[in-house]
Amino acid sequence: MQKNTFKGRVIAGGDLTGEAVVSHQGLNTLATFQKSALKNAKQIIGSDQNNPDVYGKVLTGKILCLPITIGSTTGGLVIQTICQMGINPSALLFSQEIDSLALSGVILAHIWEESPIIAIDKLGDDFLNTVKTGDKLQIKADGTVCIVSD
């Protein structure tokens, strides 16, 4: 039977149920979020041409599942800004240890924007191999993530 419950480390906790969008490759924060943010759009549509997993997908309010973030060191400020704009994914679930840029973004969003964005890391490779875009996920404040249904 396939495992459907995973436990990670809480970076910024909370309880949430929502829909997953999965990036199997490192998510380029600037390339993914910039287009919608620069247009002052009401929601983010993934704009990274090099990442077919998220390109063209709505990310606002979704649970973004990823290994780490990559790319420009504006990454943290980009996360902070989309949180300030209120168009951020509701949660970031990292299979690996969170990278310094995403970590900065989550902390900046919490301290300076009082954003409720959830972040959990170290969920493991199994998590990213199991979860699929469109899955319903339940996140608990202790860092537990359940795939509720396909």
Using CB under 8 A as the binding rule, whether residue 91 contacts other proteins is answered as no
Smallest gap from Cβ 75 to other proteins, in A, equals 6
Which residue among 6, 21, 33, 80 contacts other proteins (CB under 8 A)? 80
Burial class (CB in 10 A: 0-12, 13-18, 19+), 144: middle
Q: How far is CA 99 from the centre of its chain?
A: 12
Question: What is the tally of helices (H) and strands (E) in the chain?
Answer: 4, 10
Using CB under 8 A as the binding rule, whether residue 56 contacts other proteins is answered as no
Which residue's structure tokens are 């973030």? 69
Measured distance CA(125)–CA(127) in Å, rounded = 5
By beta-carbon proximity to other proteins, the closer residue of 73 and 149 is 73
Using CB under 8 A as the binding rule, whether residue 37 contacts other proteins is answered as yes
Rg (CA), the chain: 14
- Closest among 37, 40, 38, 33 to 69, alpha carbons compared: 33
Residue 9 is encoded by which pair of tokens? 């480390």
**Per-residue x/- mask for other proteins, residues 95 to 114, rule CB under 8 A?**
---xxxx-xxx-xx-xxxx-
DSSP H or E segment with residue 94: strand 91-94
The footprint of other proteins on residues 118-147 (CB under 8 A) is none
By beta-carbon proximity to other proteins, the closer residue of 107 and 146 is 107
Using CB under 8 A as the binding rule, whether residue 117 contacts other proteins is answered as no
By beta-carbon proximity to other proteins, the closer residue of 139 and 147 is 139
Q: Which residues bind other proteins (CB under 8 A)?
A: 11, 26, 28, 30-31, 34, 37-40, 49-50, 67-77, 80-81, 84-85, 98-101, 103-105, 107-108, 110-113
